[in-house]
């Protein structure tokens, strides 16, 4: 499969980003592309808005799994691409258009020239939230076709095209979403002493919880608490009766996640007294850490040594990935693929270099044939 064909697919997928478990157009696109491939060795099954594609190998002694996530983000694109998102307020700002295109490219090559092992492609919904990997793993088709080894990639804007990185052990963090609702007494802007301002409570809370990382965590450990959305009040001259914070917690171990949550809850109890309000906390979805199997990363490195690309050891990152749930049950690994973009992941001007698509397809295809 040539670069120009991959670019066409990527651009078509880039135009139709959809949120988790709403990937209807994406699923239709994937199915109609897969339908154009030689079908002799393929079994295609849908699962919710995702797709499983099983490729029957010539020997079929093992099954190797490859997972591509398919959802977009709630973000308005500012790339200025002529093939920008046509879906209002949605963007492929985490490279899942690349992930899907690379999977389709590798699938095309394997459908045309069969591998020895059976291969299972998983086009997985809802990686950005609420999490598609865990339910897909528990699904009936997955139980029936469960791979012996599994891997996945993620685009890396900070790496040059042609560079691939990974590491044995911990690659990505434990994550937990964080939703905090404040309820107090609002009122007239001119009489603050008669109210309990939830705008003030929530904004102070944001700065207070940062002290957990600075003063409650072991400095040799690490954590991130990010509040990505703050909402309070209705108009400029009414003191807010309610406020809501939305964020995410990242830690290097499940134990540290427990600690951070306990500390947030302690601060919330204190705030209920000092700000005379009630606070409720919901942790939304949580993702298990991405922990790479040493043996599989070493096997992957050997594959990379045979390809005309550069393999380097990756540092750990505080990104989260629900692929961690798959790696908890199936030995395997995740790797970063360099795509060289000035703008980073989750930025509205992310512009990965399309030459990286071929690097991705070569890497995935050769790894599926040789692990
Ligand atoms: C690779 C990547 O960017 N993944 C997301 C996963 C989000 C998990 C969840 N919605 C949360 O925010 O905790 C990330 O933000 O790291």
Rounded to two decimals, the ipTM of the complex is 0.97
Q: How confident is the model at residue 254 (pLDDT cuts 50, 70, 90)?
A: very high
DSSP-derived 3-state class of residue 226: strand
Q: In the chain, how many domains are there?
A: 2
| Residue where a domain terminates, one of 286, 307, 324 | 286
Q: Is 128 a catalytic residue?
A: yes
Only one residue has tokens 């990965």, namely 352
Sign of the Cα torsion 267, 261, 93, 351 reads positive
Q: Are residues 257 and 342 in the same domain?
A: no
> In the predicted model, is pLDDT for residue 261 greater than 90?
yes
Q: Specify whether 221 is located in the same domain as 303.
A: no
Give one DSSP letter per residue of 45-77, joined into a string. EEETTEEEEEE--SS-SSEEEEEEE---BS---
CA of 177 from ligand 1 middle (Å) equals 9
Q: Which of 319, 336, 346 to mutate to test the pocket of ligand 1 (most atoms within 8 A of CB)?
A: 319
Domain match, 165 and 179 both: no
The stretch 1-12 carries a mean pLDDT of 95
Domain identity same for 195 and 148:
no
The residue from 236, 256, 286 where one domain ends is 286
Same domain (yes/no): 20, 106: yes
pLDDT band at 353 (very low <50, low <70, confident <90, very high): very high
- Site of tokens 């690994």: 333
Residue 60 and residue 49 share a domain:
yes
Quote the ligand 1 centre to 226 CA distance (angstroms).
11
List 69, 97, 177, 181, catalytic entry? 69
| pLDDT tens column, 337-351 | 999 999 999 999 999
- Whether omega for the bond prior to residue 130 falls within 30 degrees of 0, making it cis, is yes
Number of the ligand 1 atom closest to the C-alpha atom of 318:
16
Start-end of H helices in 185-293: 198-211, 254-274
Split at pLDDT 50, 70, 90, the class of 62 is very high
The average pLDDT across 57-83 equals 98
The pLDDT value recorded for residue 222 is 94
CATH number at residue 204: 3.30.70.360
Phi, psi at 218, each rounded to 5°:
-60, 125
Annotation marks residue 355 as catalytic: no
Residue 1 has pLDDT above 90, yes or no: no
Nearest to 103 by CA among 371, 352, 355, 360: 360
DSSP bridge partners of 98: none
Q: Give me the mean pLDDT over the 103-132 stretch.
A: 98
78 and 153 share one domain = yes
Ligand 1 pocket residues where CB is under 6 Å: 94, 128-129, 154, 175, 177, 248, 287, 319-321, 345
Residue 209 pLDDT > 90: yes
From the CA of 132, how far away is ligand 1's center (Å)?
12
Q: Which among 130, 215, 233, 239 is positioned nearest to 179, based on CA atoms?
A: 130
264-to-198, 210, 218, 225, 232 alpha-carbon distances in Å: 17, 10, 16, 10, 20
In the reported structure, the alpha carbon of residue 172 is separated from the centroid of ligand 1 by a whole-number distance in angstroms of 10
Among candidate residues 23, 77, 127, 128, the one labeled active-site is 128
Residues 227 and 343 grouped into a single domain: no
Strands (E), 101-256: 118-124, 149-156, 163-166, 169-172, 174-183, 187-188, 223-232, 238-239, 242-251
* Claim to verify: residue 42 and residue 111 sit in the same structural domain: yes
Confidence band for 114, pLDDT divided at 50, 70 and 90: very high
Do 87 and 160 have their domain in common? yes
Choose one of 286, 315, 344: the last residue of a domain.
286
For the domain that residue 109 is a member of, what is the CATH number? 3.40.630.10
Q: Give pLDDT, residue 120.
A: 98
Mean pLDDT of the chain: 98
Considering the domain architecture, whether residues 81 and 209 belong to the same structural domain is answered as no
Which tokens in the block code for residue 243?
């406020």
In the chain, pLDDT over 70 holds for what percent of residues?
A: 100
Say if residue 251 is in the same domain as residue 300: no
pTM for the complete prediction?
0.94
Q: Residue 198 above 90 pLDDT?
A: yes
Cβ atoms 51, 43 nearer than 8 A? no
Q: pLDDT tens across 226-240, in order?
A: 999 999 999 999 999
Domain of 11, in residue numbers: 3-171+289-370
């Amino acid at each position: 499969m040539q670069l120009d064909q991959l670019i066409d697919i990527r651009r078509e997928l880039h135009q139709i980003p959809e949120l988790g478990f709403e990937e209807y157009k994406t699923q239709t696109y994937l199915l109609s592309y897969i339908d154009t491939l030689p079908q002799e060795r393929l079994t295609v099954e849908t699962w919710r808005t995702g797709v499983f594609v099983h490729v029957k190998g010539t020997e079929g002694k093992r099954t190797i799994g490859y997972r591509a996530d398919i959802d977009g983000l709630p973000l308005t694109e500012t790339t200025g691409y002529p093939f920008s998102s046509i879906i209002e307020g949605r963007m492929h700002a985490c490279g899942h258009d690349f992930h899907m295109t690379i999977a389709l490219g590798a699938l095309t090559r394997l459908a045309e020239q069969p591998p020895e092992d059976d291969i299972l492609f998983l086009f997985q919904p809802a990686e950005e939230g609420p999490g598609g990997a865990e339910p897909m793993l528990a699904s009936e088709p997955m139980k029936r076709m469960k791979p012996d080894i599994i891997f996945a990639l993620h685009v890396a804007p900070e790496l040059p095209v042609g560079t691939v990185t990974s590491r044995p052990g911990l690659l990505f963090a434990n994550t937990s979403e964080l939703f905090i609702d404040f309820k107090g007494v609002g009122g007239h802007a001119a009489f603050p002493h008669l109210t309990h301002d939830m705008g003030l409570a929530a904004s102070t809370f944001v700065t207070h919880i940062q002290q957990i990382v600075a003063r409650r965590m072991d400095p040799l450990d690490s954590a991130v608490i990010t509040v990505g959305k703050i909402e309070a009040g209705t108009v400029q001259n009414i003191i807010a009766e309610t406020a809501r914070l939305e964020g995410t917690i990242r830690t290097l171990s499940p134990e540290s996640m427990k600690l951070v949550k306990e500390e947030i809850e302690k601060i919330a109890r204190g705030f209920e007294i000092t700000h005379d309000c009630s606070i409720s906390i919901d942790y939304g979805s949580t993702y298990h850490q991405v922990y790479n199997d040493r043996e599989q990363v070493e096997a992957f490195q050997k594959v990379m040594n045979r390809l005309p690309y550069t393999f380097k050891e990756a540092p750990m990152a505080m990104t989260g990935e629900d692929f961690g749930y798959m790696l908890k049950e199936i030995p395997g690994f995740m790797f970063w693929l360099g795509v060289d973009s000035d703008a980073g992941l989750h930025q509205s001007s992310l512009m990965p270099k399309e030459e990286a698509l071929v690097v991705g397809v070569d890497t995935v295809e050769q790894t599926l044939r040789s692990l």
